[in-house]
Amino acid sequence: MSEKRILVVDDDLAIAELLEMILDEEGYAVLLAYSGHESLRLARQHQPDLILLDLMLPDMHGTQVTQHLRSEPALRHIPIVVVSASKDMDAIVNTMDVQGAVAKPFQIATLLASIEQQLGR
């Protein structure tokens, strides 16, 4: 059984590290990206099984990252779960083509349930 690969996109190093540790503990392979452009590059390069996406990135907004991913045939099927501390997350997520949303701060169980729902684990 091949290891599922998750791309974590968050410009906050501590959050990225936290997510990496949580996912690692669960047996996922983790890729880290700290900006929108980096996330697109890693996605093209590694074709992850799922993307955990922050909304407020230094170079672009999560909505733009999503639009780029959805415009590329090789990437458009990848499920995206937004993980954000934005006060308007629910309203923003409603306008995006994403599969899930988890508000920061989160319960680990909630985050994992949202990921597993997409990966069918």
Partner 1 sequence: MSNPTPSTAAPDFQLLFESAPDSHLVLAPDLTIVAVSDAYLRSVLAERALLIGRRVFDVFPRSPADLAATGLRSLRASLRRVLKHRVADTIAQQKYAIRRPDSAGGTFEERCWRAVSTPILGPDGAICAILHRVEDITESVDQLQLRIRQLEIDITHRTEEVASALAEAQAQRDRQDLALQAAQMGIWDLDLLHNSSVRSLRHDEIFGYATLQTHWNGETFFAHVFPQDQAHARDCFASAYATGILAIHCRIVWPDGSIHWIDARGQVYYDETHQPVRMLGVVLDITERKDLESRRDEFLAVASHELKTPVTVIKGMSELLLRSAGKRGTSEKELRALTLVNQQADRISHLVSDMLDVSRIAAGQLVVALESVDLGALLSDVVAQQQLLQPTHSLILAPCGPCAVRGNLARLEQVIQNLVANAIQYSPAGSSIFITMAQAADQVTVAVRDSGIGISADRQAQLFERFYQAQDQPARGLGLGLYIVKEIIAQHGGQIWLESAKDSGSTFSFSLPIEASHL
Q: For residue 54, count other CB atoms closer than 10 A to its CB.
A: 26
**Per CB under 8 A, does 104 bind partner 1?**
yes
In the complex with partner 1, the residue whose CB is nearer, 43 or 82, is 82
Is-contact 62 82, C-beta < 8 A?
A: yes
**Per CB under 8 A, does 12 bind partner 1?**
yes
Q: For residue 27, count other CB atoms closer than 10 A to its CB.
A: 10
CA–CA dist 107, 59 (Å, integer): 28
Residue type, 25: E
- The answer for residues whose C-beta is within 8 angstroms of residue 95's C-beta and 6 or more apart is 63
In the complex with partner 1, the residue whose CB is nearer, 2 or 95, is 95
In the complex with partner 1, the residue whose CB is nearer, 21 or 119, is 21
**Per CB under 8 A, does 61 bind partner 1?**
no
Rounded to a whole number of angstroms, the minimum distance from the CB of residue 107 to partner 1 is 7
Provide the binding-site residues for partner 1, judged by CB under 8 A. Answer: 12, 14-15, 18-19, 21-22, 25, 56, 85-88, 90-91, 94, 104-108
